[in-house]
Structure 1
Amino acid sequence: MKKIGIRIVLFYVLFLFVAASCVGTKINKPKVILTSTPSVTENLDSKSPSNIPTLFEISPEGNKWVDSVYNAMNLDERIGQLFMVAAYSNKDTVHFNAIDKLIKENKIGGLIFFQGGPVRQANLTNHFQAKSKIPLFIGNDAEWGLNMRLDSTARYPWNMTLGAIQDMKLIEKVGIQMGQQSKRLGLQFNFAPVLDINTNPKNPIIGFRSFGEDKYKVTERAIALMKGVQSQGVFSTGKHFPGHGDTEMDSHKGLPTINASKENLEQVAFYPYKKMFYEGLSSVMVAHLNVPSLESRANYPSSISYNVVTNILQKQLGFKGLIFTDALNMKAISNSNIPSEINFEAFMAGNDILLFPENVPLAIDKFKIGYSANLISEERLAFSVKKILKFKYKAGLNSYKPIETATLFKDLNSEDNEALQYQLYENAITVLKNTASVLPIKNLDKQKIAYVKIGDDTNNSFISTLKKYADVTVISDTNLDSLQVKLKPFTTVIIGYHKSDIAFKNGELNSDELFKINYLARNNNVILDIFAKPYSLLPITYFDAIEGLVVSYQNSDIAQVVSAELIFGAIEAKGKLPVSINTNFKVNDGLATEKLNRLGFTTPENVGMNSAVLSKIDILANKAISAKMTPGIQILVARKGKVIYQRSFGYHTYNNDLKVLDSDIYDVASLTKILATLPNVMQQYDQQKINMETTLGTMSPIFKNSNKEDIHFKELLSHYAGLVAGLSFYKATIDKSKFPSETYFRKISEEQFSKKMGDSLFIRNDFHDTIMKMIVKSKLSLKKEYKYSDLTFMILKDYLENTTGKKLDDLIQENFYQSLGMNNSTFNPLNKFDKNRIPPTEIDTYFRHQILQGYVNDLSAALEGGVSGHAGVFSNAMDVAKIMQLYLQKGNYGNHQYFSEKTFNDFNTCYFCAAGNRRGIGFDKPQLGTAGPTCGCASMTSFGHTGYTGTMAWADPETQIVYVFLSNRTFPVAAENRLSKENIREDIQEVIYESIVK
């Protein structure tokens, strides 16, 4: 401290004598260096590691530019280059004018932008650059992307989340995107990555900003991130030298102390820097730390320590890039000395750029006094200023061009950002416990799953995604005993701990939360999912009671979606813990989990599709709704086992009363054929109970001695059997006034009239026998030609029920829906779901005389009590996609084989294409000519079905596409099918194929 006192005295003694002569003069002569302040240029190369490559050289033309600019500068301009001032794009004109003044009068060299917005910052950058004679350095703290400071920009995972990822190429991609966005915003510096080894879990300022506590893993990830950023022409800044990882004080509030020995620092904290220097790190930020082993003066900040900045960083470690101080307004430094001296001392310690300085005019005056007093040599000043100019040249500032703002927002928020986020969380989320392989959750037909929330942040994406896999019940109660009573019936309880990503002290479990988790874990089969930093686990002492433990690191929407995927096996666990948790878990712990081939979720770009093209779907869907072709629509697109588009449009009715939600369920009409009847028939075929040549008389004895006795199974399901299209079964049930006859109907349920087909309308239970007799007696075409008939699947329903002894609605639930997690699919949905979840299909003015909401629209199916082989299923797009994916995976879903690949291939074959019949076995197939159900762009191996109420489900093995379209186009009346006439479904399918890029 004695030297500081001497300098202060010298400043004030010399100020009156030399200040005037310094101002505005060109400096060409070197100054004498005082022995108390050795020059940074003193033979650095001879003391630097010889094998560090020279990475900061520029061309001869560049050096000529640097020299010419430097020689033309006066002292004010040279000193001004050392200052990088804080700027905000969310402040008022007073702030903007102050920056203008600093640029004009004090010739500052750069701006570090803090809070604001990207377009506002770009406009200010253009303004300030235009004001500055020499282009300014522009920088941002963007450790997890521009969103660390700016709204409306991409937010990437924290370093600690990236620390769990094992694929360095992904982390380099993060750097590439960060670099691209920084470049687009006119930045030259991203003050990242953080190189601190976070060995102290109580660290209040670094924590999740670190890649972890292992120096090798931190270094590996930092190098990957840096390479990505710098590959885009933006400079990375490693921070916070000499190492901020082992602290318990926030340097914004006070001066933290590092008690590690010099040897320990060299082996641990310095390690990333040494390696990064070899890889071309452009700049380093020096922290404000009290490090007794490196600086003998008590409580003397490392940022103004000559030994730390010059002797160690530059000479010992050989760093030749730019050196920044940490922000000079931080209490760790601002409270240690008078503000006007901090800048001078930081420069004399060996720093090149003074970040976030306070009272710049006064500080510059002190520099000029020091210069005149020979405290600062010309060589020392030139060393830093020319280095700054060299980096400005490398950044292209010698030919600066203003930032284009017209497409800035779009460019900073491209689809690739979100695509990468999915990849990152898929590789980061870590499983630490998996007792009895509770993860992923299997055997959905045997599970009863509850979810309990802990924490104060949102959980909507987690809940909605969990419910896409299984029937998950959200349970809450402030009283633990009452909560446990509610949880007793459940086989598995998922506890989600949700803490805000914005809160810096993310994830501090309080005593009540700890007790609650412990209580629930002791009394239930628990999967605990932590949407917070892994240090949240530190106070937990009862890991033995927790069956499944997942660390999801952050509470972003994508983290929630991906974590739900992992719980149900759509992805496998790949992450490894970046820090230790007491003695319970150590660095690099992380269990692999089984991947089940269930549908997952991602962005179009991750499966080789283009989001911008897919957005045309929205236009077509809205066109259909605005033109009143249908009140509402659900659309889902999946590719390669991932749902990449799922949206709902419009309302339940034209009254705009209820918006269509993804969870709403529609009458899918003829999709019932392939969603309920056909999969059960395929199992019968797979078990060799029937084959392609089995006759109808053999399958169903009721057809023996009829004109249909010799119809082959293959002909029957190919609509090549000569059956009539349909029969008017209802005519047998109406009286002379054309109203339902009391012989067949009752207004209230009775023992023999328990099948409900509408409000206050019950049909007699044995009417199915009448239907079958009418089918047996119906006409049969003698000519073999394609003719679509609903009778085929009505016959198959009768066959299945007689063969298995079970009703079709029970059969499909037991054999498929329950284990597939199709919890939103059923016949007669009013027995299970709230009416408000079911868009109405028609106002029936011809038979039932009521609004059909929750009752099957098809009258023939209604006469069967809502359960028929050709119609009757209600479902949503997600559930339909599951069974279509099962078909696409040739009978396998969730790693369960429902029927063999051969069976699927047999059914997906067009046996009569040569005769002009496009149909497969039960499946519809693409058109053979111009007429048909598809856009004409689907492959001939594709398959699916359409439905009368305005539905379509289609899958294509060649492109691995699943497409589902559901609507209630029949509401309020089904007269004109404009949805079909205007090819809305087909046009949307064409857009899907158009969006495929690889």
Structure 2
Amino acid sequence: MQRVYTLLFLVVFLHTSFSQTIPKSVLANEKMVSQQIWVDSIYNQFSFEEKVGQLFMVAAYSNKDEVHNKSIDKLVEEYKIGGLIFFQGGPVRQAKLTNRYQAKADVPLFIGIDAEWGLSMRLDSTYRYPWNMTLGAVQDMKLIEKAGNQMAKQSKRMGIHFNFAPVVDINTNPKNPIIGNRSFGETKENVTTRAIALMKGLQDEGVYATAKHFPGHGDTSTDSHHTLPVVNFDRNRLDEVELFPYKELIKNGLASVMVAHLNVPSLEPRANYPTSISYPVVTDILKNELQFEGLIFTDALNMKGASNFKKPGDIDLEAFLAGNDVLLFAENVPVAIKKFKEAFDKGILTEERLMYSVKKILSFKYKANLNNYQPIVLDNLYQDLNAAEFDALNYKLYENAITVLKNQDKLIPVSTIEKEKIAYIKLGNDASDTFLANLRNYASISEITNKNLDSVLVALQDYTKVIIGYHKQDGAWRNHNLNFKEMLWINQIAKQNDVILTCFTKPYSLTNLKNFEDIETIVLAYQNNDIAQTITPQIIFGAMGAKGKLPVSIDDEFKVNEGIETLEIKRLGFSIPENVGMNSKILTKIDSIANYAVSKRITPGIQVVVARKGKVIYQKSFGNHTYESNEKVKNTDLYDIASLTKIVATLPNLMQEFDKGHLTLETKLRTMLPVAKHSNKANATVLDMLTHQARFQPWIPFYKATLDSLNRPSTLFYRSVYSPEFPIHVAEKLYLRKDYNDTIVKTILESELLPKKQYKYSDFSFILFKEYLEYHNKKSLEDLALANFYEPLGANSIMYNPLQKVHSSRVIPTEMDTYFRHQLVQGYVHDMAAAMQGGISGHAGLFANALDVAKVMQMYLQKGVYGGRTFFSEETFTTFNTCYFCEDGNRRGVGFDKPQLGTEGPTCGCVSLTSFGHTGFTGTMTWADPEKEIVYVFLSNRTYPDSNAVNKLSKENIRENIQRIIYEAIIE
């Protein structure tokens, strides 16, 4: 006893006096001494029954009744069990029970859980990572290690000390009924490297990893939960393959091993004798040959592979005598303790053997800081277990896992979207909505829902490509195999069409397809969840390249480690804020601002998109179409984007003209537009017009000249029905005479110039540029913008006159016009001059959703490149994104708006000087910042119902405040 006190004093003295200066080796020795003191002091106080109690880890549930809970209480209080393995339930319930049981334990309990793909393997409302088979496709081991880190953090938050992972079984049998997706793959090298990464990730964060199922459950055709599987390999094969991962993990510091219930004749000569209770397997091989000194767990002793062999109590004793330290899922602890006592009294069980395992268990408890046990803090438990950083990693894991197995004729990435007509067909019995919605983020996709194959084949004749999505419910043990009908459909469709087969299923689901010859492209997404369904379209359309490699072979068609790397062609992708150096929690403040704007009737509805580093990381809609409507704004709805038209339609076409050498910044209006040759605007240059200092009047209310004495549209100019003489569709049942556009242009050209050259915002330049573009190209601006930009960008929602193309339910009303058209303006441009030009003008007229505006802005941010295409040169973009007259107090770039000079301007004041964008009268804004790689789009209909009302959107800086939040959210 005196020695204990002396050592304890030494430990305290060293820690308090010299811990900052003594060598690490001495500090390590100090910890070992302290650990030994604690272990010995606890062990020496134990009765025989208490020692034996430490060997048991009993099954506990947080979804059962109080009868179950009290049964655990009794095992903890009366039988002094050493630990619990939790199964089904919920995190808060389990945390409360853990605190309850720990409070009743004389020595803190070990808590373990099967969390092979995260806590959600057992607990609801917790995080799920990809299956091991999915991780087997990932080539970056750092990502898998980080997954282990995060799993450990979540486990520690739940007071869990052992994650019974990783599974290191090598799945060389495709028909294995219990391992399958729980394995990293079919080769020992791939399994081992990934298992080491996951193990390091877990243990570096202080949670013990457990390699299982020793000596190897990968090549079995039965499930040890129900029977005793046979492994008929000789010892050489087992050494070469099944035991290989254990050898490597042990070298790398593996904490524990779980021994399976298997029949392996080459290791255990007794017939049908489970490996879990085999001394030759547990002691001779694992402990002696492999020199494993960590904790050894049995697999669950209630499994039929063990329980069919011996009764409760007997099986526990046999397992312990074989060399196991911890007896998992013991079915009858009181009986087992009695059996242990009988064996001890007969000399079958020795004090030395008992002390070896009990002290090892106590040592591991000390290393887990159970000598300083603290209860689980329940506050914010759910939030901590579902942090945004976990989603961020999950995105990266799937980005690196999804595998392209075949890509004949390089069907993906789909690059020339404007030349494609793409159909989508869903197979399988699970959800596909996220996949289809994300496909439609890139192109117009038609879903074919015919139930009859012949009808489907007829319907597909007009399509250039067919994407088949095979969706099966995301479950590790579920059957994902294609049935006969599904195989028939795939084969018949592939004979007739270019097909991209995308499987949100296990790799083995393809084994019975057999005929791959007619299928041009096969993408394996492994699992059917929202993340996989979000990322796969990005690979198909080139927002990112495929990186995954096949973890198992698929018959003789595709071999392990095969996988085609596809191109990334600079399209907007989708991720979450943390993956682009932003804080999602801060970004949620956007919700508050938007909801405030809606609740205060500043605007009926809003769309917001934020992208960074080429990834959309925030896309939400708020409010309703109007104050009276219950129709919620959706991300796909279209807003009148007003003056954003200037930089979304007119300016990019001018930049192409500039890039081709058709004009320069010094080109004069008279050479661009013959009708202007003799006007007072003849010498206005492109530069002056685009920087709003060409001395043009800011605005003329053209519509007023067409009203009668009652301020109604005059019959001199309008008709209620279309005719060749009155073809210009201004609004519902309102058609303007065909020559009035000439009157608008003539009025502009004859208007007085302002007295001096200075910045004065005017729509006239862009109205005239529209005339130039159409005159020069012999095409309408609508056709030019569509062909040159929107179609190749996949910006299918950007359009003039949307009611000609989409249903009115998708178009947000803009105002109740009481001064000109005297009707609800919905689907017709709000701007009066643009309306009088048939809805197509250079300064206004476009409708769009926020995402498609973001595509145009991303193209600008990438200096003219998008989707593998160069729209104009980097030099051209730089020329137009320059503030030539900032020193003169004119902040404008060439067509673009730029950040404020001093306090006046359109932004939050927190953007870089290289940033650019525009705002619109209807309550719109888009802005891009090259330095921070940010794209921001805000769309609203603040003009509803009265465009002449106070502009509270501007007055309360709603758009600018949201922009400020975006910049506050940047963390790197």
Q: TM-score, normalising length from structure 1?
A: 0.94
Give 1:983's match in structure 2, choosing from 937, 957, 960: 957
| 1:763 CA displacement | 1.4
* Distance in 2, Cα, partners of 1:910 & 1:390: 69
* Distance in 1, Cα, partners of 2:675 & 2:749: 8
Structure 1 equivalent of residue 637 of structure 2: 664
Structure 1 equivalent of residue 203 of structure 2: 230
Structure 1 equivalent of residue 890 of structure 2: 917
Q: Following superposition of structure 1 onto structure 2, how do residues 821-840 of structure 1 map, counting pairs within 5 Å?
A: 821-840=794-813
Unaligned runs of 5+ in 2: 2-27
Structure 1 residue ranges, 4+ long, deviating more than 3 angstroms after superposition = 55-58
* Structure 1 position 254 matched with structure 2 position 254: no
Structure 1 equivalent of residue 389 of structure 2: 416
Contact 2:572 2:855 in 1 (8 A): yes
Structure 1 equivalent of residue 159 of structure 2: 186
* Distance in 2, Cα, partners of 1:279 & 1:57: 23
Structure 1 equivalent of residue 347 of structure 2: 374
AA paired with 2:279? Answer: Y
* Structure 1 position 239 matched with structure 2 position 227: no
Structure 1 equivalent of residue 932 of structure 2: 959
Give 1:281's match in structure 2, choosing from 249, 254, 269: 254
* Structure 1 position 588 matched with structure 2 position 569: no
Q: TM-score, normalising length from structure 2?
A: 0.96
Q: Following superposition of structure 1 onto structure 2, how do residues 478-489 of structure 1 map, counting pairs within 5 Å?
A: 478-489=451-462
* Distance in 1, Cα, partners of 2:739 & 2:341: 105
* Structure 1 position 760 matched with structure 2 position 733: yes
* Distance in 2, Cα, partners of 1:762 & 1:542: 59
Give 2:367's match in structure 1, choosing from 374, 394, 404: 394
Q: SS at the partner of 1:528?
A: strand
* Structure 1 position 128 matched with structure 2 position 101: yes
Q: SS at the partner of 1:647?
A: strand
Structure 1 equivalent of residue 771 of structure 2: 798
Structure 1 equivalent of residue 321 of structure 2: 348
Worse-superposed segment, 204-213 or 291-300 = 291-300
Contact 1:204 1:505 in 2 (8 A): no
* Distance in 1, Cα, partners of 2:727 & 2:109: 82
Give 2:398's match in structure 1, choosing from 401, 425, 439: 425
* Distance in 2, Cα, partners of 1:276 & 1:58: 25
* Structure 1 position 365 matched with structure 2 position 322: no
* Distance in 2, Cα, partners of 1:971 & 1:371: 87
Structure 2 equivalent of residue 47 of structure 1: none
Worse-superposed segment, 420-429 or 501-510 = 501-510
Give 2:694's match in structure 1, choosing from 721, 729, 741: 721
* Distance in 1, Cα, partners of 2:374 & 2:313: 35
Contact 2:58 2:330 in 1 (8 A): yes
Contact 1:963 1:989 in 2 (8 A): yes
* Distance in 1, Cα, partners of 2:562 & 2:330: 43
Structure 2 equivalent of residue 517 of structure 1: 490
| 1:732 CA displacement | 2.3
| 1:986 CA displacement | 0.3
AA paired with 1:528? Answer: L
Change (3 A) 1:315 1:503: closer
| 1:436 CA displacement | 0.5
Contact 1:197 1:211 in 2 (8 A): yes
Q: Following superposition of structure 1 onto structure 2, how do residues 123-272 of structure 1 map, counting pairs within 5 Å?
A: 123-272=96-245
Change (3 A) 1:494 1:141: same
Structure 1 equivalent of residue 861 of structure 2: 888
Structure 1 equivalent of residue 466 of structure 2: 493
* Structure 1 position 808 matched with structure 2 position 781: yes
* Distance in 2, Cα, partners of 1:664 & 1:308: 65
AA paired with 1:596? Answer: I
| 1:503 CA displacement | 5.5
Give 2:675's match in structure 1, choosing from 692, 702, 725: 702
Q: SS at the partner of 1:255?
A: coil
Q: Deviations over 1:765-816 (max 9, x none)?
A: 2211111111111110130111000111100001101010001111100111
Change (3 A) 1:249 1:660: same
| 1:57 CA displacement | 11
Unaligned runs of 5+ in 1: 1-27, 29-54
Q: SS at the partner of 2:285?
A: helix
| 1:852 CA displacement | 0.9
Contact 1:219 1:275 in 2 (8 A): yes
AA paired with 1:187? Answer: I
Contact 1:430 1:573 in 2 (8 A): yes
Contact 2:167 2:195 in 1 (8 A): yes
Structure 1 equivalent of residue 53 of structure 2: 80
Q: Following superposition of structure 1 onto structure 2, how do residues 630-649 of structure 1 map, counting pairs within 5 Å?
A: 630-649=603-622
Worse-superposed segment, 129-138 or 747-756 = 747-756
Structure 2 equivalent of residue 59 of structure 1: 32
Structure 2 equivalent of residue 556 of structure 1: 529
AA paired with 1:275? Answer: E
Change (3 A) 1:263 1:58: farther
Contact 1:58 1:390 in 2 (8 A): no
Contact 2:415 2:868 in 1 (8 A): no
Worse-superposed segment, 693-702 or 746-755 = 746-755
Q: Deviations over 1:490-510 (max 9, x none)?
A: 101000111111362242211
AA paired with 1:82? Answer: L
Q: Deviations over 1:237-290 (max 9, x none)?
A: 000001000011111111111111111011100000000000000000000111
Q: SS at the partner of 1:636?
A: strand
Structure 1 equivalent of residue 627 of structure 2: 654
| 1:754 CA displacement | 2.2
| 1:846 CA displacement | 1.4
Q: Deviations over 1:41-100 (max 9, x none)?
A: xxxxxxxxxxxxxx9996111011111110100011100001100001111101100000
* Distance in 2, Cα, partners of 1:410 & 1:924: 41
Structure 2 equivalent of residue 329 of structure 1: 302
Q: Deviations over 1:104-154 (max 9, x none)?
A: 111110000001111111111111000000100001100001111111111
Q: SS at the partner of 1:715?
A: helix
* Structure 1 position 898 matched with structure 2 position 871: yes
Aligned-CA RMSD value: 1.2
Q: SS at the partner of 1:451?
A: strand
Give 1:385's match in structure 2, choosing from 334, 341, 358: 358
Q: SS at the partner of 2:966?
A: helix
Q: SS at the partner of 1:469?
A: coil
Q: Deviations over 1:533-572 (max 9, x none)?
A: 1111111111111111100111111111111100000011
Contact 1:715 1:721 in 2 (8 A): yes
Q: Following superposition of structure 1 onto structure 2, how do residues 35-74 of structure 1 map, counting pairs within 5 Å?
A: 59-74=32-47
| 1:736 CA displacement | 2.2
Structure 2 equivalent of residue 683 of structure 1: 656
Contact 2:182 2:476 in 1 (8 A): no
Contact 1:288 1:301 in 2 (8 A): yes
| 1:746 CA displacement | 1.3
Q: SS at the partner of 1:655?
A: coil
| 1:996 CA displacement | 0.8
Structure 2 equivalent of residue 42 of structure 1: none
Q: SS at the partner of 2:971?
A: coil
Structure 2 equivalent of residue 106 of structure 1: 79
Contact 2:131 2:476 in 1 (8 A): no
Contact 2:35 2:366 in 1 (8 A): yes
AA paired with 1:599? Answer: L
Q: SS at the partner of 2:441?
A: helix
AA paired with 2:203? Answer: Q
Contact 1:237 1:285 in 2 (8 A): yes
